[in-house]
C-alpha cells in the first residue's frame, strides 16, 4: 500500500527538467539516468511526489554550484569552515538530486560527508540514484550515506547522530558535526509543517549539536504555493530560528558588478516565487521547552520560555518588502 503522504488524492504530476542557465550542464548530462524524464516517470509511479524533482531543488543546486561570476550573501560555506570537515544533512531528499550535487563537490574536497534522508520507504530510491552509475558501478559511497528520517521522529534523528558520532567525544578524538541542514521544497502539506519544524529543532538541540561547535546553517529552498497553508510554518519557525533570504549579484562581460537582488525567480512559469532562506537557531531558544503537541508547536507555545501562543512576523515583513529585494 502506498504511503498517503507521498500519494495525495488526485495526484497528477509530471517530470520536471531544468529550464534555465542556473542548471549545471555537465552535472545534468551525467545524471540523466537518475533524474531525467524517464527516471522521474518511474519514480512518480513507485514513490509518488518523492519520485519527482521539484522546482526548489534546481534553485538550491544553483546556489551550491554556480558560475564564478556569481556572488551570494550569505554564501553556502563560511570562509572559516572551508578548511574543516563539513557534514551536510538533507531532509526529505526524495530523488536525491540535491544530495548528488552536494556529494559531487564533497568528493572533490575529500573530507566532507553528505547524509541523504527520507521516509524509510523512499530510501531505496535514494540508494538507487546516489550509489549506482550508468555502468552499474557504485558511486559516492565514500562521501554519501542514506538514512531513514521521518519528520518528527526523534529516534530517527538521534540514531543518525549516534551512528556518525557527531557529538562530543570526551576522549578528544576529532569527529565531524552537522554543519549544514538542507531543505528543498519541504514546506507544503499542512499536516507535515509541525513534524518538519520538530525535526529541525531535534537536529539543532543537544545531543545533536556540540556545545563547542557553532549551530548548523539551515538552507531552505522554498517555492510559495499556498501562503494561507504555509505561513503558519514560518510564523512558528521564526520564533526558534533567525533567518534571511539569500541575495546575489554577478559580474558581467565588462567586469562590472550588478546590484544585489534576491536570489529566486518565477521558476515554474506560473507566477509563484521560489527563493532560498538561510537560518540558524536562536541561541536563547536552547533553554526553551519544546511542546509535545504539534498544534502547540505551530502556535508558538514554549517559545520565549512562555506557555502562551505567539507568532513571528519575519516572513510577513519579508513579503511586504519584496522578500528582501
Q: Which of 74-83, 158-167, 299-308 has the highest mean pLDDT?
A: 299-308
- The share of the chain scoring above pLDDT 70, in percent, equals 82
- The share of the chain scoring above pLDDT 90, in percent, equals 66
pLDDT in tens, 180-215: 999 999 999 999 999 999 999 999 999 998 766 789
Residue ranges with strand state E in the chain:
70-73, 87-91, 113-118, 144-148, 178-184, 217-223, 241-245, 247-250, 261-262, 274-281
pLDDT at residue 5, as a whole number: 87
pLDDT at residue 81, as a whole number: 56
pTM: 0.91
More confident residue, 138 or 284: 284
Total residue length of the chain: 325
**For residue 92, pLDDT beyond 70:** yes
pLDDT in tens, 237-246: 999 999 999 9
The pLDDT of 149-168, averaged and rounded, is: 86
pLDDT at residue 31, as a whole number: 79
Distance CA 224, CA 307 (A): 30
**For residue 219, pLDDT beyond 60:** yes
The pLDDT of 34-39, averaged and rounded, is: 94
The pLDDT of 120-129, averaged and rounded, is: 97
**For residue 270, pLDDT beyond 50:** yes
pLDDT at residue 6, as a whole number: 93
pLDDT in tens, 304-320: 999 999 999 999 999 88
What band does 266 get if pLDDT is binned at 50, 70 and 90? very low
**For residue 1, pLDDT beyond 60:** no
Exposed e or buried b for every residue in 253-272, given b needs 16+ CB within 10 A? eeeeeeeeebbbeebbeeee
Alpha-carbon distance values, 292 to 14, 49, 158 (Å): 37, 28, 17
**For residue 171, pLDDT beyond 60:** no
- At 42, list the grid cell: 518511474
pLDDT at residue 140, as a whole number: 61
The count of C-alpha atoms lying within 13 angstroms of the C-alpha of 108, restricted to the half-sphere facing its C-beta, is 7
- Strands of 247-250's sheet in order across: 70-73, 247-250, 261-262
Amino acid at each position: 500500500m502506498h504511503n498517503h503522504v507521498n500519494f495525495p488524492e488526485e495526484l497528477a504530476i509530471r517530470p520536471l527538467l531544468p529550464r534555465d542557465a542556473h542548471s549545471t550542464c555537465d552535472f545534468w548530462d551525467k545524471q540523466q539516468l537518475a533524474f531525467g524524464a524517464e527516471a522521474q516517470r518511474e519514480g512518480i509511479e513507485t514513490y509518488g511526489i518523492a519520485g519527482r524533482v521539484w522546482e526548489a531543488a534546481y534553485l538550491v543546486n544553483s546556489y551550491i554550484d554556480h558560475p564564478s561570476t556569481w556572488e551570494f550573501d550569505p554564501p553556502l560555506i563560511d570562509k572559516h569552515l572551508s578548511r574543516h570537515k563539513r557534514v551536510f544533512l538533507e531532509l526529505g531528499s526524495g530523488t536525491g538530486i540535491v544530495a548528488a550535487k552536494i556529494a559531487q563537490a564533497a568528493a572533490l574536497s575529500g573530507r566532507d560527508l553528505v547524509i541523504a534522508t527520507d521516509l524509510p520507504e523512499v530510501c531505496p530510491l535514494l540508494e538507487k540514484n546516489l550509489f549506482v552509475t550508468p555502468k552499474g558501478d557504485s558511486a559516492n559511497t565514500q562521501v554519501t550515506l542514506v538514512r531513514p528520517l521521518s519528520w518528527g521522529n526523534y529516534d530517527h534523528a538521534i540514531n543518525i547522530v549516534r551512528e556518525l558520532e557527531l557529538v562530543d567525544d570526551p576522549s578528544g578524538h576529532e569527529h565531524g558535526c552537522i554543519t549544514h541542514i538542507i531543505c528543498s521544497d519541504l514546506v507544503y502539506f499542512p499536516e507535515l509543517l509541525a513534524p518538519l519544524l520538530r525535526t529541525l529543532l531535534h537536529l539543532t538541540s543537544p545531543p545533536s549539536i556540540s556545545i563547542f561547535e557553532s549551530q548548523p546553517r539551515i538552507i531552505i529552498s522554498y517555492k510559495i504555493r499556498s501562503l494561507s497553508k504555509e505561513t503558519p510554518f514560518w510564523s512558528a519557525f521564526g520564533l526558534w530560528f533567525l533567518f534571511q533570504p539569500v541575495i546575489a549579484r554577478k559580474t558581467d562581460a565588462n567586469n562590472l558588478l550588478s546590484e544585489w537582488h534576491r536570489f529566486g525567480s518565477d521558476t515554474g512559469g506560473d507566477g509563484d516565487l521560489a527563493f532560498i532562506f538561510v537560518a540558524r537557531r536562536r541561541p536563547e531558544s536552547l533553554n526553551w521547552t519544546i511542546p509535545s503537541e504539534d498544534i502547540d508547536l505551530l502556535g508558538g507555545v514554549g517559545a520565549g520560555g512562555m506557555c502562551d501562543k505567539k507568532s513571528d512576523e519575519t516572513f510577513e515583513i519579508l513579503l511586504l518588502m519584496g522578500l528582501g529585494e
